A = this chain, B = another copy of it.
Amino acid sequence: MKAAKIRLYVEHPLGEGQTIPLTREQAHYLFGVMRLNISDAVSLFNGRDGEWRAEVAEAGKRNGSLRVDMRTRRLQMPPDLWLMFAPIKKARTDFIVEKATEMGAARICPVQTDFTNAERIRQDRLQAHAIEAAEQCGGTYVPEVCELQRLDRMLPGWPEDRQLMFCDESLVGAAKTLGKAQGEKWAILIGPEGGFSDAERQRLHSLPFAHAVSLGPRILRADTAAVAAMTVWQQALGDWG
């Protein structure tokens, strides 16, 4: 039995003996680009049922199907961590979504802050990026990418049991205040390139569920800060222990 070299995300439920119809794009990718043939192996995941080995059952130019034979990995859920970030230039926004998926965010929330330049985002495009990152990094889970929300409208209805870690460039000293006692549901908030406004910073510091951390003495770009902040959190509270 040959091992699968290609990992593919599908929406279909996965289970032994299931037949998975392919979309036109998937058929083009598997048969046109990757040149798979009947009975070649593919790894499948749908974000819910773990990873399964499947074989090509029918191969056409615009369609085809796979037959699922066995589960190769269980679903591995990331910690209950949201990554909230202020969208920046397109390439770096894409990058943050990719990195958040690799680093193990459960949900990715673009937020509009006082100094956010992006007026709108393409949620569907960013969700596709998260899927691609999960395919690449061997993940069995795909974080949900939310629509753009305004930070000042999110904070009033903030869930009581979720802690919020935010990065404050004016602080010195690392994330020594993070403790497991504070609960298992968290969000990390990364500000825009211009930082938070004074009003936002003041408000964040006053929130009982918010925890300010420093990411060192140099100014980090937002995409660097996202990876660094998730590393700090994963080491202290997540599944890197």
8 A-B pairs with the lowest CB-CB distances in the bound complex, closest first = A231-B231, A227-B227, A216-B240, A228-B231, A138-B219, A174-B240, A137-B219, A102-B224
- A167-190 near B? 1/0 per residue, CB < 8 Å: 000000111000000000000000
From residue 216 to 241 of chain A, which have CB atoms closer than 8 A to chain B?
216-221, 224, 227-228, 230-232, 234-235, 238-241
Where the two chains meet, the residues of A that have a C-beta atom closer than 8 Å to any C-beta of B are 76, 78, 98-99, 102-104, 136-139, 173-175, 214-221, 224, 227-228, 230-232, 234-235, 238-241
Copies in the complex: 2
Give bound CA distance, A81 to B137, whole Å.
Answer: 27
Where chain A touches its partner, the secondary structure class is loop
Given A76-B217, A104-B216, A136-B221, 17 more contacts at CB 8 Å?
Answer: A78-B218, A99-B224, A103-B216, A103-B220, A103-B228, A137-B220, A137-B221, A138-B219, A173-B241, A174-B235, A175-B235, A217-B239, A227-B228, A227-B231, A228-B228, A231-B232, A232-B235
